[in-house]
Structure 1
Amino acid sequence: MGNTCCFLCGCVDQASVGVVERWGRFERLAPPGFHFFNCLAGQCLAGVLSTRIHSLDVRIETKTKDNVFVQLVCSIQYRIVKENADDAFYELANPREQIQAYVFDVVRAIVPRMALDELFEQKGEVAIAVLEELEKVMGAYGYCIEHILMVDIIPDDTVRRAMNEINAAQRLQLASVYKGEAEKVLLVKRAEADAEAKYLGGVGVARQRQAITDGLRENILEFSHKVTGTSAKEVMDLIMITQYFDTIKDLGNSSKNTTVFIPHGPGHVRDIGDQIRNGLMEASCAQIDQQ
């Protein structure tokens, strides 16, 4: 578009279309190439329109259903239809302002019916609504809307910070849950291991005591058969005294010497022997009762 020109010849570039007038009235469209014009007959090249795709970025500020002000950046790709280039040349003086006005109107009619989260999820639907409205309106003026993209949705800074804090709090809460579950599993496993260790320790102590009891019983019986005139009690006392002195010897030979006060004397040795003998007898009775 532009001022009226009058030449004897003219050239229309590729991806463009020329508008030819006769005595100020539209006559025809000139395709790309070299053209002659009869100036004496009133022919002239009134203007040249590009048929390439143009891009227009529109920034719209509006608010959502939950009263959050946002800025939307909408990118519109449009071009002139070659067959209707005369309508585009004569009908609209500023097509960019016309497109921008319709985008404002449609977006500000749709977005206030959506919450902020819905807007992020359904921005494609907003673009489709704008596309349908522009195709219907701009098609009558010789323009074709190729694509409409919602390039960006920019909430207010305070809203963005709040959204980030909410997301961070949710993630921290989820992390706390997982951490608690992990600690619970660890405590349960530790308790199970401790119970198993105590059970196995008890089994070991029981087997140790049973082995000691069996060994003492065999020693007493063997000694009684080989040495005539001895009673089981005398043999038991001898074994207990021998083990008593072995214990004292082991304490003295230990690498980690510690002062230990042990009552020592014939009477105390007799008391220790009576205690051990009574314990063995009680263990034997308990084993007989279980059988």
Structure 2
Amino acid sequence: MGSFLLIPLLLIGFVILFSSFFIVKQQTAVIIERFGKFNSVRTSGLQMKIPLVDRIVARVGLKIQQLDVIVETKTLDDVFVKLKISVQYVVLKNKVYEAFYQLEYPHDQITSYVFDVVRAEVPKMKLDDVFVKKDDIAIAVKTELQDAMLDYGYDIIKTLVTDIDPDAQVKEAMNRINASEREKIAAQFEGDAARILIVEKAKAEAESKRLQGQGIADQRREIARGLEESVEVLNKVGINSQEASALIVVTQHYDTLQSIGEATNTNLILLPNSPQAGSDMLNNMVASFTASNMIGESMKTQNKKKDPK
């Protein structure tokens, strides 16, 4: 009879002994209550409690946690925008009691403070300023949360504005504005390029005309030099300048006729082109030169009579 009672007692004793020990993982705190009253906070390692008297009521994580809060509000220029605020927080190891007993829903508390700060700061800014000053919004949120949550055992590590999402129509309008601005810049570059091409083309044409004119001037200068030499040669054989000039013109006339005759597929007709045209041209030119000389001599004589000095 005694042996039958001993076995259950041994089993009960083993269970009680086994339940006296428990393990706490790294970065975790365990809260122990004794008869419903807070007793102690146990950290990582092998821990011991009084069976049937002490009870584990909670395991509180000491790792950094993140809470994402999406807030919809209105900017100074009446644009509705959604902001995603990421709050990174941690339970302080020396304030596990406050974190567990004083604040039942920490996520709701943090969310309320984020809403309050964002809806107080963003309406002071225009939409463009919200994008530029998002770090200022994050700092304001962290400052407010740090002061409020520290008493409850929570430390705010960092707050980030991870997303700014304006209304769909506003984003479409912003995209159109950006596209128009880029098109404007592209048109300006194209206009500058076209203007540069026009200027360079005009410079090239001007340079071409200058070189062409220089070439014509050089050509005429050489022709004049050649005529001068031809006249000097003819003067040496007893032909005066008037007759020499007329002879050179007639010679060029026949050279022109010869070049036209050698050309094919041409409809050019040089007038006059009769057989006696050369003789008539020579006679007319000599007569013209003679008349011109006579008029020149007559004008010199009259000028001498007017000015006896």
TM-score interval (norm. to shorter):
0.7 to 0.9
Larger gyration radius, structure 1 or structure 2: 2
Q: Is the 8 A contact 1:10 1:45 kept in 2?
A: no
Q: Is the 8 A contact 1:77 1:146 kept in 2?
A: yes
Indicate the residue corresponding to 1:73 in structure 2: 84
Indicate the residue corresponding to 2:268 in structure 1: 260
Indicate the residue corresponding to 2:177 in structure 1: 166
Q: Is the 8 A contact 1:251 1:257 kept in 2?
A: no
Pairs within 5 Å for 1:1-291? 7-39=19-51, 42-225=53-236, 227-228=237-238, 230-254=239-263, 257-263=265-271, 264-265=273-274, 266-267=276-277, 270-271=280-281, 274=285
How many angstroms does 1:270 deviate by? 4.4
- TM-score, L = length of structure 2: 0.81
Secondary structure at the counterpart of residue 77 of structure 2? coil
CA distance in 2 between partners of 1:268 and 1:167 (Å)? 80
Alignment-mate amino acid for residue 157 of structure 2: E
Alignment-mate amino acid for residue 243 of structure 1: Q
Query: Structure 1 residues 68 and 189, CA, compared in 2 at 3 Å: closer, same or farther?
Result: same
RMSD: 2.2
- TM-score, L = length of structure 1: 0.85
Deviations 1:116-175 (A, max 9, x none): 000000000000000011111111111111111100000011101111111111121122
CA distance in 2 between partners of 1:28 and 1:97 (Å)? 27
- Unaligned runs of 5+ residues in structure 2 are 1-18, 293-309
How many angstroms does 1:246 deviate by? 1.7
Secondary structure at the counterpart of residue 266 of structure 2? coil
CA distance in 1 between partners of 2:51 and 2:180 (Å)? 77
- Unaligned runs of 5+ residues in structure 1 are 1-6, 282-291
CA distance in 1 between partners of 2:281 and 2:27 (Å)? 121
Q: Is the 8 A contact 2:138 2:160 kept in 1?
A: yes
Deviations 1:12-45 (A, max 9, x none): 11110111122222122101112221136x3222
Identity %: 38
